[in-house]
Amino acid sequence: MSLVVTILGSSGRFQTLERACSSYLLEIDGDHIWLDAGGGSWLNLQRSIDYSSLKGVILTHGHPDHTTDVLQAYHARMYGQPEAMSSIPLWGPAETLDRLTAFANGICDAFDLRPLADDAELAIGEARLSFVRMAHPVPTLGVRVTYREKVIAFSSDTGDGADFEALAGSADVFVCEATSQDSDPLWEGHLRASQAGSIADRIGVKKLVLTHLPNGRDLEVSLAEARESAGDVKVELAQDGARMEFA
């Protein structure tokens, strides 16, 4: 058995022809958990698995570039087959779940809504998922996944004021947002690639994967800026469809 992470989307703000918005598929001891559901990720999810095999969905916060495609799953589960499928857990901050139900009340029939507090923990198979409040304008949770002795962490959206040590200290892989570049103005609640590199170096990450990437920009610039500030940390760009396996 193993933990396999597939990147379903890595674009910031809006999907492009090349990249869906933020989304990841976690396969934990054979069970599939969808982490964030940004625009375009539903299509990529279906390229990876039969959606009926989903065991649950986690949304880190309520912004559309992390949530919109959960409505595709809602329609598929309710109306895509002769009979509606049984509900599966949908975890997220209470505010996120409230906003979803206000937009589509029937989502409660497709999902078992389970609010997550900042200090929540989930056990799925041999994995333990813990959550850390991030520095973003709306309630947002970063996710730390511990599988046996391996750790992969996901920043979701955040500025530099979050507790990154709690989230990703000594992580084997840190999937961290890199919304902007050094030539851009500082954007409250988001990171430059160089900031992501500095954070990864400071907290002892082994590998940094840059995600939530800027649209229409030369991403080699983001990669170079992160590498310059990351010390000995290995740095790479997230690529839709890429897989990471942890035995």
36 vs 198: CA distance, rounded Å = 25
| C-beta of residue 1 within 8 angstroms of C-beta of residue 125 | yes
210 vs 141: CA distance, rounded Å = 17
Q: Is the pLDDT of residue 210 over 90?
A: yes
CATH topology of domain 3-246: Metallo-beta-lactamase; Chain A (3.60.15)
Question: So what's the pLDDT on residue 54?
Answer: 97
In the block, residue with structure tokens 């990154």: 164
Q: Is the pLDDT of residue 160 over 80?
A: yes
Q: What is the pLDDT of residues 198-208, one digit of tens each?
A: 999 999 999 99
Mean pLDDT score, 169-196: 96
Question: So what's the pLDDT on residue 212?
Answer: 98
Question: So what's the pLDDT on residue 92?
Answer: 98
236 vs 32: CA distance, rounded Å = 25
Question: So what's the pLDDT on residue 247?
Answer: 74
- Domain boundaries in the chain? 3-246
Q: What is the pLDDT of residues 104-137, one digit of tens each?
A: 999 999 999 999 998 899 999 999 999 999 999 9
- pLDDT band at 67, cuts 50/70/90? very high
- Please, which residues have CB within 8 angstroms of residue 81's CB and are 6 or more apart in sequence? none
* Two tokens, residue 76: 């598929």
Mean pLDDT score, 188-214: 98
Q: Is the pLDDT of residue 1 over 90?
A: no
- pLDDT band at 102, cuts 50/70/90? very high
